[in-house]
Amino acid sequence: MADIIGVRFREAGKIYYFDPKGKKFERGQYVIVETVKGIELGEIVMTNRILPDDEIPQPLRGIIRLASEADLQRDMENREKEKKAFEICEEKIKLHGLEMKLVNVEYMFDGNKILFYFTADGRVDFRDLVKDLAYIFRTRIELRQIGVRDEAKKLGGLGICGRPFCCSTFLGDFQPVSIKMAKEQGMILNPTKISGTCGRLMCCLKYEQDVYSDLLKITPKIGAIVNTPDGKGNVIDVNLITGVLTVSLHKSMNAAAHTYKVSEVTLIKDAQIKIDKAEFEKLKKLENN
């Protein structure tokens, strides 16, 4: 067991654990810590709590000190420097004719390193670009290629729901989302309906998956054979949320289908939710980061 606090370095960024070294901290305070990237300023988003050792990533680094007004001022100056560095890097990318898109720039708190995040369709030889940037800024330069989901998280924006992106407001880590989830939730497998602005499957599919998984355990699927108050039939449509089934009765196949509550039918033979291979091949890119 160990006493920890949780620190976040960017809005909606991942929460990292640190050793408070016996001190008590409050949510919203800013602290100076040492990370694998160097010295950084972060905000406390999780106050002192005890966690089992197996839940704490090792090694657990300690808090250096509370941030001072001078530290906060320096951090603001770094944010301004990032804007200038972004403009310079974009100019150099054009000068070298590189097929890459600059997404974000991060100054380390102590200024000993600048990180440039970019997206590209393939590998990019940016060695000459790094030399130029190192000469201009006189510090360590690191370029990191990121995926389109990370790009959306850093840039922000509005989703199809009209609200700010989940990834840029509260999601610390991306959760895997699959086409199977969309299929199980009864969504039309149309890329424009199931993908976000980033062009990948919507993160919110993951939020509701546990509920749908539980409902699928007690609800006959499309193609299932059930016994209804009016006789046997095949399920041709399902509304998992309302628990209403549309059934085509065997005794009157050409007649209009009937609707029943799940509680009104008895399952004879269930069916499986399948994704057509050609359909999957067409959509599998939506699963990639």
106-153 pLDDT, tens per residue?
999 988 899 999 999 888 999 999 999 999 999 999 999 988 888 888
Name the residue among 196, 195, 190 with its Cα closest to residue 155: 196
CA 108/CA 115 separation, integer angstroms: 8
pLDDT value at position 167? Answer: 84
Q: Is the dihedral of CA 256, 262, 268, 269 positive or negative?
A: positive
Mean pLDDT of all residues belonging to the chain: 89
CA 215/CA 37 separation, integer angstroms: 45
CA 108/CA 41 separation, integer angstroms: 9
CA 195/CA 201 separation, integer angstroms: 4
pLDDT value at position 289? Answer: 61
Is residue 210 within 8 Å of residue 194, measured between CB atoms?
no
pLDDT value at position 19? Answer: 87
Break the chain into its structural domains and give their ranges: 2-67, 73-146, 222-269
In three-state secondary structure terms, 208 is helix
3-state secondary structure string across 11-43: CCCCEEEEECCCCCCCCCCEEEEEECCEEEEEE
The Cα angle at residue 188 between residues 185 and 151, in degrees rounded to 5: 85
Question: Which residue carries 């609200």 as its tokens?
Answer: 163
Q: What is the CATH number of domain 73-146?
A: 3.30.300
What are the mean pLDDT values of the chain's consecutive 10-residue runs (289 residues total)?
86 82 90 87 90 80 91 94 95 94 92 92 92 94 90 85 84 82 86 86 89 92 93 92 93 84 93 81 75
Is residue 148 within 8 Å of residue 200, measured between CB atoms?
yes
Q: What is the CATH number of domain 222-269?
A: 2.30.30.30
Which tokens is 289 given? 């980061």
Asked whether this chain's domains 73-146 and 222-269 adopt the same fold, the reply is: no
